[in-house]
Amino acid sequence: MEPSFSLKTLLTISLFLFFITPQSSLALKLPFHPQDLLPLLPRQVSWPILNRLNGAVDLLPTFVGAASASNDTGDWKGACFYENRAWMEFHNKTGSEFGGGTLHLKVSEAHSWTCMDIYVFATPYHVTWDYYLLSREHTLEFKEWESKAEYEYVKNRGVSIFLMHAGMLGTLQALWDRPQPWATNISVDDIHSGDFLVLSKIRGRWGGFETLEKWVSGAYAGHSAVCLRDSEGKLWVGESGNENEQGEDVIAVLPWDEWWEYELNKDNSNPHIALLPLHPDVRAKFNETAAWEYALSMNGRPYGYHNLIFSWIDTLDGNYPPPLDAHVVASFMTVWNHIQPEYAANMWNEALNKRLGTQVSL
Ligand SMILES: *[C@@H]1O[C@H](CO)[C@@H](O)[C@H](O)[C@H]1NC(C)=O
Ligand SMILES: *[C@@H]1O[C@H](CO)[C@@H](O)[C@H](O)[C@H]1NC(C)=O
Ligand SMILES: *[C@@H]1O[C@H](CO)[C@@H](O)[C@H](O)[C@H]1NC(C)=O
Ligand SMILES: *[C@@H]1O[C@H](CO)[C@@H](O)[C@H](O)[C@H]1NC(C)=O
């Protein structure tokens, strides 16, 4: 997984080459193409250049195949390496119930000595990425499958491989280079109505989804909830995406103890939880009665997947905060459509169709 060169070194070299070389002679005199270096440049620099070089469609990740144990992917052509092949080898190095696997990826026939290919590897439970600069066989370790479901999924359908296009590296990097969390001791008595809980789920089905979601939105959290105290002073948590007895994700208002017990001991997505208390001035304005009325009116209702991504998208390209842009959102949809088509239908196909007027039924 470790890149062979230091990214910083390459960045320095590429910036240097970019700015000392007259643009017109770049393609003629140097043994590489400007596009080869784009992934290494800061986004502010690379996006404007990239947008001139490519149509938007070229930026979408390309599904190149799924590597399973019974079948390799067959050859595909990358942006940099023209011959690529991948296969999966199951193992049980950790002696866990379902074992793990090694993805082998053989890349060769680079079209220049400086180019690289960036890939995203995904199952519904894991999303990871890597980039390759050298012609040889690379491996990617999945130490342990999360669950029987992931094991079965990979055995039958394989690990999905997406070729990313230049410019994505910065986005992916931003997702992995995170500030360290800090910890403090708080007591439940210090939590008030209106205080906000932010969750980041790391593992399992929600872990995979949230990783994509965070990648798209540039956020560190993928889920949130709000605290409410009732007239007796008892603490409750209002949250979306709580599974009911029928296995549907609904909006729920739960007693704090029940919610906390679940997050602490039963939530297999290994959530990281941050408490963001309201500023005292804002807390003074918080209307608890109105908040309760609203929370109870929503209790038990289906969670709004249909609208989930439309909190990010409401113009074609005018309102994305950096680093989010239309290409990244489209990338997210492309990846997720392949991994969990059932959820994709829920999440955007229906909503997009409605907006485009291409399908009436909902
Ligand atoms: C393996 O690939 C062959 C041909 O591409 C296909 O017919 C077969 O269904 C695949 N098997 C599995 C288990 O995916
Ligand atoms: C892996 O090894 C452990 C311990 O020997 C065993 O219990 C488990 O069934 C194995 N898992 C697989 C998928 O072979
Ligand atoms: C929180 O409190 C426990 C018990 O009093 C203590 O051991 C721990 O170091 C405290 N943690 C922080 C981050 O203050
Ligand atoms: C708080 O909300 C309730 C219910 O919506 C409303 O009747 C009341 O006037 C609000 N209080 C303030 C101070 O705005």
94-151, pLDDT tens digit by residue? 999 999 999 999 999 888 777 778 888 887 777 777 888 888 899 999 999 888 878 8
**How far, in Å, is the centroid of ligand 3 from the Cα of 185?**
6
Judged by its nearest atom, the ligand closest to the C-alpha of residue 145 is: 2
Report yes or no: 216 and 323 within 8 Å, Cβ to Cβ. no
Average pLDDT, the chain: 70
- pLDDT at res. 33: 42
Give Cα 305 to chain centroid, integer Å: 16
> By alpha-carbon position, which residue is closest to atom 13 of ligand 4?
287
Question: pLDDT tier at 210 (50, 70, 90 boundaries)?
Answer: low
pLDDT greater at residue 249 or residue 101: 101
> By alpha-carbon position, which residue is closest to atom 1 of ligand 2?
95
- pLDDT at res. 218: 55
Among residues 223, 239, 228, which one has the least CA distance to residue 195? 228
> By alpha-carbon position, which residue is closest to atom 1 of ligand 3?
185
pLDDT greater at residue 102 or residue 26: 102
What proportion of the chain, given as a percentage, has pLDDT over 90?
22
What's the rounded mean pLDDT across residues 252-257? 94
DSSP readout, 110-159?
A: ESSTT--EEEEEE-SS-EEEEEE-SSEEEEEEE-S-SSHHHHHHHHHH-E
Looking at mean pLDDT, say which of 97-101, 204-208, 262-266, 343-347 comes out highest.
Answer: 97-101
Report yes or no: 325 and 317 within 8 Å, Cβ to Cβ. yes
183 Cβ closer than 6 Å to some ligand 3 atom: yes
